[in-house]
Structure 1
Amino acid sequence: MVEDSTSTQGGPIGGMQRRSIARDLVPIGIIIVIALLLRLLFVFEMRSSPTFDSPLLDPSYHDRWALHLAQGDWFGGEVFFRAPLYPYFLGLIYRVVGHSYLIPRIIQACLGVLSCCIVAAIGTRLFGRRIGLTAAACAAVYGPLIYFEGELLIAPLFVFLALLALWTLLLLGERPSAQRWVLSGVVLGLAAIARPNILLFAVLLPVWALIIVRRKLGTAGTIRGIGILAIGIVTVVAPVTARNWIVGHDFVPIASQGGVNFYLGNNPWADGMSAIMPGVGSDWDEVAIAERDLGRELRPSEISRYWWRQGVAFAGSSPGAFLKLSAKKILIFWNGIEVSNNQNIYFFRRYSRLLSTLMWRRVVSFPFGIVAPLALIGMAISLGMWRRYFLLYLFVIAYGLSVVLFFVTSRHRLPTVPVLLLFAGAAVWWLAEKVLRQEWGKVAGFTILFVLLAVAANVPVAGVDVGNFAQSHFNMGNVFLRDGELDRARAEYLACLEIEPRFPLAHLNLGVTYYRAGALALAREAFIEEIEVNPGAAGAHNNLGLVFRDLGDPERAVVAFSRALALDPGHHEAARNLSLVLRRLHREEEAIAVLERAISSAPRSRSLRRALADLYDELGLRDLAEQQRMRADSLARPFSPFRREP
């Protein structure tokens, strides 16, 4: 028994319970104030971070997409690659208050506070007042939750929607009605268009309904309710599906990213936690690779299916490796380390004393290294009343599985944390009860189990070094480089290389800072070092060609640009640069051939066709130039933050 005497599920609300609710107002009010103050403090501390006003990677994608939406193009013209709810949420904020990096974070802080309130409500309903308030208090001070609520990422909105879905389902389980079936479906639908993998949980909900709800509605009534729930989900998702069909004539229910992500997490080189393309890195074009392999243009759904098949093929051809990788991902999911996806969370402790206090990695990875073992014990203790907690079990298992199917990072497992805090709170109060009753045998058993689980949850994961900030320095360098602060960018790249002398692309970007400053000799040295570290870096060869061109050595520039194209036939910059140098050398036919070959490998490239049109103009071939310009104009596509503009 893990609930206390104030648990309210399934009973009428009488005078005693009203007094209990009144007693809850003071502690929940304190939790709300603490949660809000901590979140606002974190947001204002993080204003000193270079990425606060200059987001990178996923936050940058969301920012650009939302800004475009706020400018009026709410419908768009391309099939969604990523789930759209968060960018539209952010775009609405930009539309109302302008392009602010502060206001969205404050709004997300408020969402985090509301999430704490829902944790308290669920916990009180299922476990009782003490456990509900304990879990809510833990959520209020939980470092990773506070961190992600301060980033322009899906996590805070999705955590709120996932908790709201659990709350509406819990109420549905107590007193089923058509309205509650619909409401639960609508909330799940909203969560799905924020992060579609929650649909695995939705697909398994009929199991919960047939076990729990059927006892009140009967089989026929439960089946009708499941149908209504499905209608609620479809009501939200269908407009997104219809919109994708209208703009792309392609059946994509929400977004087309699933296949790509599945392959990133399931291939012979996958580590279970990185969104890195094997042999290419983070800078890759999944469309070009798929189309090149299949030899034709592909619709977004076909591209997604291509990558799904690649991942499934790996699992089928190497079942042992796939199972080993899956086991590793499960271990990562339950490990205390906060595995980063975009940016090393621990790096940002230097910008926030609050984060340094609430999240750290020493012998123990705090807080998840403590929460995970307590939650597992709480889940075990609660098995005696499994029907009562079945919805929570189902969510942790289904959503956790949906993460493990792809790759595991801190922000992807984050939606399970509030539920795990409930079970952890149950474990703590169970232990307190046994101590008060002096049941020392059970206390000893609990302690031994906790220590064993804590050791397992805090063992370092192979391939994860949270103290290695090379990537973080590289990212900071990219922020400064993008903002034109060459000296600060150079300092970050040098700091990165001091940690990892062979860090991919660090020498390349360091060379760019020298090139833009006019230090051509230093730029050449940096690009050559990048080639030594990464011989397949087409960009380094292209940049080296630019240095040779500017140093007045066009022949060596031709060699460098040609090498870049040999490594990457679709490197548009190298093709354009090579054609320009060949034109200066009066080798016009070769220049035309270079651009034509590049276009044959990237027939939808507008920039290459325009470059060829300019070359035809110089040669007086007006008709051919006009043909290429018309073709380039016909290829113009609507804005998409997730596609390169070739």
Structure 2
Amino acid sequence: MVFGVAFAIRAVFLFQSLETPYFGAPFLDEKYFYEWAKRISHGQLSYEQAFFRAPLYAYTLGGLFAIAGPNFFLPKLLQHLLGSVAAVLIFKIAERCFDRRTAWVAGLLAALYPPLIFFEGEMLDISLQCFFYPALILIGLRSLSDPRWRWTMLFGLVAGTAAIARPNILLLVACWLVLQVVLGARWGGWRAPHGGFARAGAIVALVVLWMMPPLIHNVRADGSWVPISTYAGVNLYIGNREMADGYTASTPRPYEFFGDYQDSVELFARREAEIAVGQPLTGSEIQRFWLWRTWETITGRLSHCIGLLLKKIVLFWNGYEIRNNKDVYFALKFTPALDWLHRVWNFRVLAPLGLLGIALAALRRPAAQRVENLWLALGVAAHMVSVVLFFVCDRYRLPVTPLLIVFAAGALTTIWQWANEGDFRQAGFAAVGLACLAFLTNLPWFDMSPAVAHKDVWNVANCYKEKGQLDEALRWYERFVQLNADFADGWNNLGEVYVRKNRIEDALACFERAARLDQRVSLPWNNVGFCRLKLGDPEGALSAYEEAIKRAPNNRIARNGRAEALAALGREKEALAELDSLLVDDPDFVLALWTKAAILARRGDIAEASDLLNRALELAPPDTAAEIRADPALTQVLPAETKEKQR
């Protein structure tokens, strides 16, 4: 029944989500995993650098894409199935720690908990962690009552798998290892052949075994002796730096990328560290750089960092869902069923109920069950610590909710039992305690501003643009600029929509405004140059591209545009020299191949132009290849079969 209820509500949410702007248009972390998985599905199983993020989710998604092709529905369906199984695991945990009635309450609460359902619908590794967390807790509970080795071995296997999905789960594993040693008598004594030390050693061995594939990859990639990934160091710095507020995950300085999507945090970590050191660095060296920078920050401002840590603990228990990539309150408006459910069943309700349940379990449970409840409470504490060391947001807090749901169910059934037995004194005390906890966890303790309406509107507009729904995108961008007329990225994106609608003059006005609003970045100047060329102003285009290069000398798109502008001005020799320089750096740079082929074709160098064109078409993605074939400058050098198709 629990599985059926869980999957039914998830199915409703999934089918409603098909019509949302977000479906089929991943951005930020979702886009990172989606693009990574696509590369894996095409056979790119290793990389030149150590893993920045834990690899399990991307490789699982990549395997699925290799079988079924890149898509959005199937992964989300499977994640919802996994979430439905997790609800059953929560039922089993509550049954072992409390009783059957509490298990039913916990299972149904988990089946209907909107944040779990929402994040299962995101292409993010959090869906795996929200399954592995209750799975490890349940296996630990079974091991406490059943001394057979199979539970120890299963714990090690699941822990190792979970670690390469999200390494912070290792803190929970460490708690279990300590518990096994302390409670060694349950397995025949600490030093017995089957005792606590032996079992702890077996678990460590299995976890290390699972870490070996990513470790081998990282060593072979760039010599980094990093067991899983390298993102802990920079995220530790972001969460504890001088200007950290405890919940904002953005980097102190943005770095642009030109070409395939790159994670902004990964880009910042590498560029900032290499600039500071003055040479290229491996993944492990970057990790050490940021760990040392964090240590210097903490030791230099210890009292501030302690205060920040306490603030993050308060934020962890606060009822408000602090956004990371999406604002859950805004995003759920597109799925009415889950939105209405979320209005009554959310972390504002769960946090006080869960805390009350922890207190009641500590005070009332029989001695024989206190170890089980201790293990459950350690799970809550371990995850809280793993989050507050960095920064707090709804998504990173989420894996603690299955355990809090168990405690919340325990609190509800205990109060019900007291009321049913006529013990209104204890029920009243519990109700007062619940009211106090609800008040404390829902106070706006800090001057937070996590809700950023213009960014949510901007994200929706970007999604429509990504899917080619330009009229909808335009409507949302126009709504965006009414909310915040000083956000440069929004004007730049609005200009891109105008370009695709062939409103070049409107686009130029947007790009110029974006360039004025943010003088640091080069991308708006790229787009100004493009529009100037389209409008027949190569001098203005050349000036714009040089402004872009001044801000980002590595902006190869601007350098390619500069070559186009030079060619339009009749300075073909300079243009070809610029393109040759680009192709020395990257012989597979499609834009440079395309531009050089067009220049040579106009000069009458048909043979060389044809070679470059064929190379560009071979490398280009389908959309870009279609644009290349439509270039009038290349008509005379297109392959015969392409000309025939165009007719």
Task: Call closer, same or farther: CA 1:67–1:541 in 2, change over 3 Å.
Answer: closer
**AA of the residue aligned to 1:261:** N
Aligned-pair identity in percent equals 30
Task: Call closer, same or farther: CA 1:593–1:260 in 2, change over 3 Å.
Answer: farther
| Deviation (angstroms), 1:332 | 2.1
**AA of the residue aligned to 2:362:** L
The more displaced of 422-431 and 324-333 is 324-333
Matched, 1:305 2:276: no
Distance 1:322 1:230 in 2: 32
| Deviation (angstroms), 1:380 | 1.5
Matched, 1:208 2:182: no
* Number of the residue aligned with 1:84: 55
| Deviation (angstroms), 1:177 | 3.4
* Number of the residue aligned with 2:38: 67
Distance 1:159 1:339 in 2: 18
| Deviation (angstroms), 1:85 | 1.3
| Deviation (angstroms), 1:465 | 5.2
Counterparts of residues 326-475 of structure 1 (less than 5 Å): 326-360=309-343, 366-384=345-363, 386-460=370-444, 462=446, 468-475=452-459
Task: Call closer, same or farther: CA 1:72–1:520 in 2, change over 3 Å.
Answer: closer
Task: Call closer, same or farther: CA 1:524–1:95 in 2, change over 3 Å.
Answer: closer
Distance 1:461 1:538 in 2: 39
| Deviation (angstroms), 1:608 | 11
| Deviation (angstroms), 1:550 | 3.2
**AA of the residue aligned to 1:518:** N
| Deviation (angstroms), 1:76 | 5.7
| Deviation (angstroms), 1:375 | 0.9
**AA of the residue aligned to 2:323:** S
* Number of the residue aligned with 1:176: 147
Distance 1:597 1:441 in 2: 82
Matched, 1:270 2:249: no
| Deviation (angstroms), 1:457 | 1.8
> SS where residue 219 of structure 1 aligns?
coil
* Number of the residue aligned with 1:260: 234
Distance 1:531 1:192 in 2: 43
**AA of the residue aligned to 1:266:** N
* Number of the residue aligned with 2:202: 228
Among candidates 491, 494, 514, match of residue 510 of structure 1 = 494
Task: Call closer, same or farther: CA 1:396–1:595 in 2, change over 3 Å.
Answer: farther
| Deviation (angstroms), 1:610 | 6.2
Task: Call closer, same or farther: CA 1:340–1:317 in 2, change over 3 Å.
Answer: same
**AA of the residue aligned to 2:412:** V
> SS where residue 358 of structure 1 aligns?
helix
| Deviation (angstroms), 1:464 | 5.1
* Number of the residue aligned with 1:324: 307
Distance 1:59 1:91 in 2: 13
Counterparts of residues 476-491 of structure 1 (less than 5 Å): 476-491=460-475
> SS where residue 269 of structure 1 aligns?
coil
Task: Call closer, same or farther: CA 1:609–1:154 in 2, change over 3 Å.
Answer: closer
Distance 1:456 1:598 in 2: 59
Task: Call closer, same or farther: CA 1:141–1:567 in 2, change over 3 Å.
Answer: same
Among candidates 167, 187, 192, match of residue 158 of structure 2 = 187
The answer as to whether partners of 2:141 and 2:372 remain within 8 angstroms in 1 is: no
| Deviation (angstroms), 1:90 | 2.0
Distance 1:429 1:481 in 2: 49
**AA of the residue aligned to 2:328:** I
Distance 2:450 2:237 in 1: 25
> SS where residue 505 of structure 1 aligns?
helix
Task: Call closer, same or farther: CA 1:451–1:595 in 2, change over 3 Å.
Answer: farther
**AA of the residue aligned to 2:89:** I
> SS where residue 359 of structure 1 aligns?
helix
**AA of the residue aligned to 2:136:** A
Distance 2:566 2:543 in 1: 11
Distance 1:187 1:445 in 2: 40
> SS where residue 310 of structure 1 aligns?
helix
The more displaced of 252-261 and 457-466 is 457-466
The more displaced of 189-198 and 144-153 is 144-153
* Number of the residue aligned with 2:298: 315
Deviations 1:322-348 (A, max 9, x none): 233323322221111222222222222
**AA of the residue aligned to 1:303:** I
| Deviation (angstroms), 1:590 | 7.7
* Number of the residue aligned with 2:215: 241
| Deviation (angstroms), 1:402 | 0.8
Aligned residues between the structures: 589
> Structure 2-normalised TM-score?
0.83
Distance 2:99 2:184 in 1: 21
The answer as to whether partners of 1:338 and 1:345 remain within 8 angstroms in 2 is: yes
Task: Call closer, same or farther: CA 1:599–1:396 in 2, change over 3 Å.
Answer: farther
* Number of the residue aligned with 1:34: 5
**AA of the residue aligned to 1:164:** A
Task: Call closer, same or farther: CA 1:310–1:37 in 2, change over 3 Å.
Answer: same
* Number of the residue aligned with 1:568: 552
Distance 1:214 1:587 in 2: 84
**AA of the residue aligned to 2:324:** N
Counterparts of residues 486-497 of structure 1 (less than 5 Å): 486-497=470-481
Segments of structure 1 that go 5 or more residues without pairing to the other structure are 1-28, 630-635, 637-646
Task: Call closer, same or farther: CA 1:52–1:33 in 2, change over 3 Å.
Answer: same
**AA of the residue aligned to 1:329:** K
| Deviation (angstroms), 1:502 | 2.3
Task: Call closer, same or farther: CA 1:339–1:133 in 2, change over 3 Å.
Answer: same
* Number of the residue aligned with 1:155: 126
| Deviation (angstroms), 1:138 | 0.3
Distance 2:279 2:383 in 1: 36
| Deviation (angstroms), 1:194 | 0.7
Distance 2:176 2:451 in 1: 40
| Deviation (angstroms), 1:417 | 0.3
| Deviation (angstroms), 1:295 | 1.5
The answer as to whether partners of 1:399 and 1:416 remain within 8 angstroms in 2 is: yes
* Number of the residue aligned with 1:500: 484
* Number of the residue aligned with 1:559: 543
The answer as to whether partners of 1:599 and 1:608 remain within 8 angstroms in 2 is: no
Distance 2:376 2:168 in 1: 17
The answer as to whether partners of 2:181 and 2:200 remain within 8 angstroms in 1 is: no
Task: Call closer, same or farther: CA 1:421–1:607 in 2, change over 3 Å.
Answer: same
* Number of the residue aligned with 2:645: none
Distance 1:154 1:112 in 2: 13
| Deviation (angstroms), 1:75 | 5.3
Task: Call closer, same or farther: CA 1:489–1:345 in 2, change over 3 Å.
Answer: same
| Deviation (angstroms), 1:407 | 1.9
The answer as to whether partners of 2:79 and 2:127 remain within 8 angstroms in 1 is: yes
* Number of the residue aligned with 1:196: 167
Distance 1:594 1:584 in 2: 14
Calculate the aligned-residue CA RMSD, in Å.
3.3
* Number of the residue aligned with 1:25: none
* Number of the residue aligned with 2:138: 167
> Structure 1-normalised TM-score?
0.83
**AA of the residue aligned to 1:91:** G
Segments of structure 2 that go 5 or more residues without pairing to the other structure are 256-262, 613-618, 620-647
